Every structure is written in structure tokens, then in C-alpha cells.
Structure 1
Amino acid sequence: MKKESKILLLVFVILVASIMLIISGLGTHQNPVFAQSSSLTIISLSSDNKLIGGSQFSISPNPFTGTGNYTIKDNSSDDTDKDKDGVITLSGIKNGNYVIIQTNTVSGYNVDQIQKTTQVNNSQTVVTFTNIPSNSPVQSSSSSSRSITYTTKFECGSIYAGEGPLRPGHYDTDISLFNKQSFQTQVFWNAVVNNGPSSNAVLFKMDSETSKSITCQDIRTSLGNNNENFIEGFTIITVPLDSTFGGGMTMTDQPSNDINVLNVQAFYTANALDTLPHEVIVDKISFYIIQDDSGKIPVSMFRKTLDISIPSGLNQISDTEKKVKDALAKQYSLSDEDLAKIVIRIKDVSIGVGVLHDDHAISLSTINPQLGS
């Protein structure tokens, strides 16, 4: 049991060190580590957070060539989310800074005249445009905004084989909101599933200097999805700009650089393995070094009982002596010629304790606000 405890302790130390190394490299990026290539997603919403299809946008520079302008319309050939009205995704684009302008939208709505500037850097970047009905008494303009929008990606659930967009494993998302203002704030949020449904908007109020989280469980509840199947998409968090400051001044009176009402951060975890976490069988091998004519192994190691633990598999035929020699070669930089000069004797082989093989990735993203009409 002593040796088994040492193995478990070693595995735990390695796991903790790996997680700390990942955390130490985290920055405040706009998107999660799950992005496998650079992409840009443009979401079109009504004032009540419903998706609006058929919009058209101009992007500068062209995200595929890096020069000139590029025009994209919802559900056109370059849109990889053709089955989702109101969501345009451009995949495999160049990294860089882009200016996006909505040039047209469907009948009955005004174009959002606020241009959006965003940076793509080996990530999945999201921008959101809000369209006000044409008959609304408050018209959209570049100098008048009615809301602030925070849009972030979510990944929830398990992928068991090749059925998902990511590697097999378990994925989780936790979006944290902090009201840093001195007044109560109203917040609406809803979830949009890739190639799937959208939830109804959820309203809650946040008192001054309080926090709230939106988890995968909350997202599933809003969608009426209670199973553990993998889902991915976007959460759209909207703060109406009619909350009142102390003294009766409204938020629409504030400079644009002061509109970041909330601190919004998304924390992502992933156990991205070729298979889900599983037990690993360990062969515990006891052996002697009888002879070493290479002169590379310390003499103090000769003719005493030595132990080594090597991962193994069920119903696999293997050469135990070769396993030990391979381990010695790695530790003492032995060539095949050196190994031929070494004589070992296997004393005993036993099955060691199974350990949980795990591989966690962790990412923290800070979500920047966008003005909406």
C-alpha cells in the first residue's frame, strides 16, 4: 500500500503542476481556448433579443485576403452557419483588426448604424448588432444607443466519439457577472444554440456590487434541455441603457468609454482526451541489474532490488525485460549497443493500482461590451 500511495501522490502532483502551468499562461482574451482556427461570428438581434435573419454586412479589411472590403449576407455561401438565421460565421480567416458595418437588414427593422471594431487572434470572436423596429419611437443612430451587449461562447456537455466539433471529453462553461456600479441594474440574457433553438430572454436584477453566474445548467434550463448531450452556442447578455444613476442622470448621458456597466468573465474547463477519463493499469516490476559492460549505470545500482511502474493494458502480450531496458535507456541515455551489454533479471511482476488519467485545459476570458441600438 505504501508504493500505491506514492503512485497516487505522484499523479496528483503532476496534475496540479499541469493545471498551474496552464493558469499561469492565461490572459484576458476575448474567446475560449476551444477555438481550433480563427473565426468571426456576427449575430443580428431584435430589441427583445430575438434572432433576425437576412442582414448584410461590410467587413474591412477582407478577412480572407487582408486587403479591401468584404460583403457577407446571412446564409450566403461563405456563412458556415447557413442553417441559423441571424448568425453568420466566417471560418478560417486571417488574424487582425476588423471594422464591421451593417449595411442592410430585413423589412420592418432599422439598420444598426453603430460600427463594431473587433480583433481576431487565433480565436472565435463574436460581434452583435441590434435592430430596432421601423415604427419604434426611438430610432437607431450612431450617437444614440439603447443597450449594451456582452456576447460569449459556451460549450456544455460530453463528447464520446467523433460526433462533436471538439475532441472527446467533457466541456463546461461558467459566465460570471459583477455589477460594479453604485445602482441596481437590470440584465436580460438568452442562449442561442449552434444549428438549434434560441431560448426566451431571462430577466434578473443585480444590486450594486453583487455578482451572479450563468452556468451550463442555467443554459440548459433556459432551453428546456435537461439531458447531458453536448451543446454549443452563444449567450447574449443585454443591459438596457435606461437604468438610473444617482441624481436622476441616465446612462445614455454617459461617454461611450464609460458604458462598461458590468464586469463579465467566462471561465472554461475542458477534459479534452482521445477518450473520456479512464483508469490506467500499472505493471509494478521488480528486477536486478546483474551486469553492465557499458559503464553508464552507477555501480551502486547493481545486484539490489529495483522497482519500476509502467502503464499497461488488458490482454496485451509484452516483453517485460524490454520494458525495463527501455526505461533504463531513457534514464541513462543508453544506445542499443549499450543495452546489449546489460544483463538484468526480473524478480516479480504485479498489477499496480489503477489511476485516473486526466488532462484538463482551463481558460479565462474577459468579455468586452458592445453598443446596441
Structure 2
Amino acid sequence: MKAWQKFSLIIVISGIIAFTTISLVTEHNPVVAQNSMYTHKPSKLSETILVSNSPATTVTSSEDKMNSTSNPNSIMYTAKFECGSIFAGEGPLRPGHYDTDLSIFNKQKFELTMLWNVIVNNGSTSNAILVNLNAETSAGITCKDIRKVLGNNDENFLEGFVVINVPLYSILQPSKGTVIPNPLGNDINILEVQAFYTANALDTLPREVIVDKISFYIVQDYSGKIPKDLLKKSLDVSVPSTLNEVSDTEMKAKKTLAKQYNLSEDDLSKIVVRIKNVSVGVGVLIDDHAISLSSIK
């Protein structure tokens, strides 16, 4: 074979090898070929990534996650309440009369809608009550309102929570032509909610009372229940009195003895009492009173 024929054969074989290599690279790397034809424009909300022939994958940016958590649909306030009376040692608090008064102030310059309901400790939950608050106005929730929504008109002791919800992105707000897109930046306390608590030991307010001081002797005791060292000895007892009321002083002294020594009516009839002296004094009922104010955030 001549030299020029050998040289032509080498060129042809080299061309075949080069073409085969390019074809194999293109077949096994489709992404490279697609990238030359596809142009992707990133979005502010998400990014779409195409990987070979796999389905599209959406990745949410960290900014979107922050926006979704920092813009709540509603704002909730929870306030503890205590209503009613506790007698003796029945608990859960010490004996007394308890009351709660919630004050809710709309400090915004537009009307708001709020929903409130009551949850009783270890008990029932009431239906929600809808209240429209005008701009810069206030409303109150008392123990009377709490008992009304629960259908409980007794004086028994109740305690639990009042839950107040203010919808932000709701059909309730647009129905009045007002939408709350973002509650004042970082300040989400669009309402001012305060709870005022009172506790009293007495059923009524403290007042002055008239007291009779009775001095007497026990002349004779046929019941045998009075200690013998008290017989024919000057004794004193102070009992409440009422103006313009006729009362049996001797019977007042005997009733005091009956309470102290557990005497029956028959026992009292066997005791002879002589009144020595009666004096009138004025006393004051002292009330164990407590108040407390709490701001709900």
C-alpha cells in the first residue's frame, strides 16, 4: 500500500473515534444540553430547581418561613377568674368571697371584633360571645357575665380562665370594612386587658355594731354540766344587739352557755341565772380584705 493511502486511512479512523466520543458524552449528560436552552429566573418567594429528568422540587426560603410565623391569624389573651364564696375549709382557697372584673380597652383608632369564652377548671367550656369594640372604647367582663354564659346562677365557687381572641385575617373584620394586615410591627398587644381581683371575709361591708356586755351569776345548775368552779361566780359575755329591739338578757346568757357546754333546751331549763349588770358598747367588724390588679399580655 502506498504512503498516501495509509495517511488517508488514519485520518478517517480518527474522525470516526472523535464523533463516537462526542455522541456518548451528549447521551449521558442531558443536563448539559438542557442548560444551553433553559433559562431560570429566581422568584422572591421560592426557588424551582430542575435536576435531569426528575420532578421539580420547590424550596421555601427562610424569609417566607419567618413571615408565616410572625403574622398570626389571631391574638389570644387568657385571664384567670375566681367567682363565688368559700365556706369553712372546703378550699381550694381560704374562706371568703371572691370576685373578678376584666377590663378590655381597644387602644386602636379603628373598630375591632373580639370573641370571648369561659373555660372552667375541670369543668365545661362556654360558647364564644362576639363583641364589637369601637375605636378607643372599653368593655368589661364580670362574674355575673361569666355565670350567664355558663348558665350558672348559683353562688357556688367557680374558677378557670376567660379566653379572648381577636381575629386579624378573618371575614369578621372585612365585614365592617376594617382589615388588620400587621398589628403595629412587633407590638401585637392591640388590646389593653386588665384583671381586677377582690377577696372579702365578710358578706357585707365593714360596719359598726352595738354590743351588750352582760355580767351574770350561775346561781344553780341542776344539769350537772356546768363546771362547779363557775357557780356563784361573776361572769361576763358580750353579744351583738340591735337598736329598738326588746330582748331577753337572761336567755342571751343561757344561749352562750349552751354553745360553750353543749347544753340542750332541757338542760337550760335546769340552770338558774341571775343578771348582775348590762352595759352597751360599740364595736367594728373588721374585714379581711384583699385586692389585686394584673395586666394581661
Q: Percent identity?
A: 60
TM-score of the pair, normalised by structure 1: 0.41
Residue by residue over 1:241-292, the C-alpha shift from the partner in whole angstroms, topping out at 9 and shown as x without a partner, is: 1346x997633364122x211111111110147x99898664669xxxxxxx
**Mapped pair 1:228 → 2:169:** no
Greater fraction helix: 2
SS at match of 1:239: strand
Aligned to 2:279, the other structure's residue is in SS state: strand
Distance in structure 2 (CA, Å) of the matches to 1:239 and 1:355: 48
Q: Work out the CA distance in 2 between the residues paired with 1:253 and 1:180.
A: 12
Aligned residues of 2:183 and 2:190 also touching (Cα < 8 A): no
Evaluate the alpha carbon distance shift between residue 311 and residue 179 of structure 1 in structure 2; reply closer, same or farther with a 3 A threshold. farther
Residue in structure 2 matched with residue 367 of structure 1 by the alignment: 296
Kindly provide the CA deviation profile for residues 21-49 of structure 1, in whole angstroms up to 9, marking residues without a partner as x: xxxxxxxxxxxxxxxxxxxxxxxxxxxxx
Tell me the residue number matched to 1:266.
Answer: 195
Q: Distance in 2 between matches of 1:228 and 1:247?
A: 42
Q: 1:250 — aligned with what?
A: 180
The amino acid of 2:70's aligned partner reads: S
**Distance in structure 1 (CA, Å) of the matches to 2:149 and 2:195:** 18
Match of 1:291 in 2: none
Which secondary structure does the structure 2 equivalent of 1:267 belong to? strand
Alignment partner of 2:74 out of 124, 128, 147: 147
Closer/same/farther in 2, CA of residues 255 and 227 from structure 1, 3 Å limit: same
For the aligned residues, what is the CA RMSD?
3.5
Contact 1:156–1:173 (Cα < 8 Å) also in 2? yes
Which of 184, 188, 194 lines up with 2:115 in the alignment? 188
Aligned to 1:298: none
Aligned residues of 2:210 and 2:282 also touching (Cα < 8 A) = yes
Structure 1 residues 278, 260: closer, same or farther in 2, change over 3 A?
closer
* Cα shift at 1:349: 5.3
Q: Distance in 2 between matches of 1:277 and 1:161?
A: 20
Q: How many angstroms does 1:364 deviate by?
A: 1.0
Task: List aligned pairs for 1:156-235, cutoff 5 A.
Answer: 156-235=83-162
Q: Secondary structure at the match of 1:252?
A: coil
CA distance in 1, matches of 2:190, 2:70: 18
> What one-letter code is carried by the residue in structure 1 that aligns with 2:182?
T
- The number of residues matched between the two structures is 173
Does residue 242 of structure 2 align to residue 315 of structure 1? no
TM-score normalised by L of structure 2: 0.50
Write the letter of the residue equivalent to 2:294.
S
Q: 1:256 is matched by which residue type in structure 2?
A: N
Q: Return the offset for 1:312.
A: 6.5
Task: State the alpha-carbon separation in 1 of the partners of residues 108 and 178 from structure 2.
Answer: 15
CA distance 1:173–1:253, change in 2 (3 Å)? closer
Q: Residues 253 and 233 of structure 1: is their aligned pair in 2 closer, same or farther, counting only changes over 3 Å?
A: closer
Distance 1:256 1:247, change over 3 A: farther
For residue 168 of structure 1, report the CA deviation from its aligned partner: 1.1
Q: Contact 2:195–2:294 (CA<8 Å) still a contact in 1?
A: yes
Q: Distance in 1 between matches of 2:135 and 2:204?
A: 42
Partner of 1:341: none
Question: What do residues 314-343 of structure 1 show as CA deviations (whole Å, max 9, x unaligned)?
Answer: 727xxxxxxxxxxxxxxxxxxxxxxxxxxx
Whether the aligned pair in 2 keeps the contact of 1:272 and 1:361 (CA below 8 Å) is: no
Bigger Rg over Cα: 2
Consecutive unaligned residues of structure 2, counting only runs of 5 or more, are 1-66, 215-236, 241-254, 258-276
Checking the alignment, whether the CA contact within 8 Å between 1:168 and 1:276 is kept in structure 2 is: no
1:154 aligned counterpart, secondary structure: strand
Residue-by-residue CA offset, 1:211-258 (whole Å, 9 max, x unaligned): 1100001000111111111100110011111346x997633364122x
CA contact (8 A) 2:110 2:178 kept: no
2: CA distance between counterparts of 1:163 and 1:253? 45
Runs of 5+ unmatched residues, structure 1:
1-139, 286-309, 317-347, 369-373
Q: Is the 8 A contact 2:213 2:239 kept in 1?
A: no
